[in-house]
Structures are given as C-alpha cells and as structure tokens.
Amino acid sequence: MAHARTERYLADGSHYGASQAHSPNALSSASTNSPQISYYTSTLTSDYSHVVAPSMASTPQLVSRPDIKTKLVCVGDGGVGKTCLLMVYSGHPFPTDYCPTVFENYVTNVPFGDKVVEFALWDTAGQEEYDRLRPLSYPESHVIFICFSCDYPPSLENVEDKWAPEVSHFCEGVPIILIATKMDLRSDQHARDLLAAQGRHPVTTEEGQAVARRIGASYAEVSAMHRRGVDEVFQLALDLAIKGTSRIGHGGAAHEGPRRKIRSKLNCTIL
C-alpha cells in the first residue's frame, strides 16, 4: 500500500527529509469528523494544483476530483503553535518537540453539502529571517489564520505591528481569522508565574477580541493539545474560504468582521 510523503524544511534552511504519513487505513480509524489528509512535497510556488496525489485506491474521496479548491495560509510568530494546530486538525498526535519549519503543505478533501472541497493548508515560518520567503505562500489564498499565543503577550502585539499589515499588503480583501492558541495555559500556574515575574499576565479573551476588531478579523480560541476549538475554527475557515471562491451559493460566515484599511509597515526590497 502506498504511503503519502511530506517534505519539511527547517528554519535554518536544512532539509528535514521525507517522513511517512499515516496510511489511509490509519486515517480512516480516526474520528468520522476528521478530514482525509494527503501530504505532498512542499514547493516554493503559489500554484498547488499541479501536485499529483499518491495512489490511494482504498480512499476514493482523496483521488476524486474536487468541486472546489480552497487555500488557507497560517502565519504568526515562531513558536505560537501554528504547526501543532494544523497537525492536530490533520489527525496527527500533538507534537511534543518544537521543530521550526519554513513551510509545509497539507491537502485535505472535505465534504461541504453535496460538494467535495480540496482544502490546502499552508504552514509558514514566523522567524524574521524568512520574511522575504513567506510572501511566496500568499498568492491565491482564500482565508488567513493569524495566530498568537496566550502565554506570550508580545505575539499578540506583533499581530498589529507585523502580521496584519503583512497580510493586508499581500492578501488584500482576504478574510482573516485571529486565533489565540494555547488557551489552556491561561490557567496553568507555571505559565502564570513566569509571566507574573515579568509583570505580565496571559492574554485575555477581551484583549484578543479587541485586536480582532481593530484589524477587521474573525476571532477564535483553541488548545491544540486538548483539541478544544480546533474543529470549529477550521469549519469557520472553510465557510469563509468557500464564500470567497464565489463558486457555490451557500456557506456564509456569520463571524466575519469588517476589514479595515491597515497601513503597511513593509519596506520594498529589490531581490
């Protein structure tokens, strides 16, 4: 039986190698609400339509031609939990080791009414040294995740200082979901003590919602470790993405906030 493969590139530019993904049978043993996931070699291109899926005869949904293709790009500071969020949604165990990646792509076929939707999930690096590489992930996006961590307040500050202006610059008009990750750490005494020693506190729901309003984004909170809110935020993302394609006549987004013009702080660089 063929196995899908994924290529990972680390934040230092080295090649992490191809790892074996779950077999189709392993995927089918997951929750019936879990999406069917394929993994493909990551490429520095905005066009993901050329990638050919591996042979998976036992999962015809994966090889059937989707009715709609959508693309989600996930951005935010390094270490806030972007990869954990995508991996848990993809049916993988919660990763216990931090391994910063430049980018990694996941592709899933999910049912939406009587349609089959190809949902391409693009993971990105938040490190500053990859600011010139990351924009290659943005073209043809239908929805954007901007993530910050509840136990690291500067990651929320960077949403307004860096991430919202960057997304507005490269993806004007694309709906944004601002996501508070690691919500379970709000009640973790060790995390609270570390922040208290710095005169800070875990980011509150109200603080996150205020930023979401200012940048015109939807707002959600998740704990990938405990899988709280994960399915709900991806369902919202799928609704927004499909609405953005304007190819079918249903699937709106009641939680979408009004987009505001954000002054870009980006500098143009000639490569």
The CA distance from 135 to 148, in Å, is 19
CATH dotted code for 5-245: 3.40.50.300
Quote the Cα angle for 10-46-49, to 5°. 110
3-state secondary structure of 244: helix
Count other Cβ atoms within 10 Å, centred on residue 157: 14
pTM above 0.85, yes or no: no
| Domain boundaries defined on the chain | 5-245
From first to last of its 271 residues, the chain has per-residue pLDDT tens of: 222 234 343 444 444 333 333 333 333 333 334 454 443 333 333 333 333 233 223 333 445 688 999 999 999 999 999 999 998 998 878 887 766 665 678 888 888 888 899 999 999 998 888 898 899 999 999 999 999 999 999 999 999 999 999 999 999 999 999 999 999 999 999 999 999 999 999 999 999 999 999 999 999 999 999 999 999 999 999 999 998 775 433 333 333 444 444 444 443 333 3
Which token pair is 104? 């990694």
β-strands 176-181, 143-149 pairing: parallel
Percent of the chain that is helix, strand, coil (3-state, to 5)? 30, 25, 45
The number of helix segments (H) and strand segments (E) in the chain equals 8, 9
Sequence letter at residue 39: Y
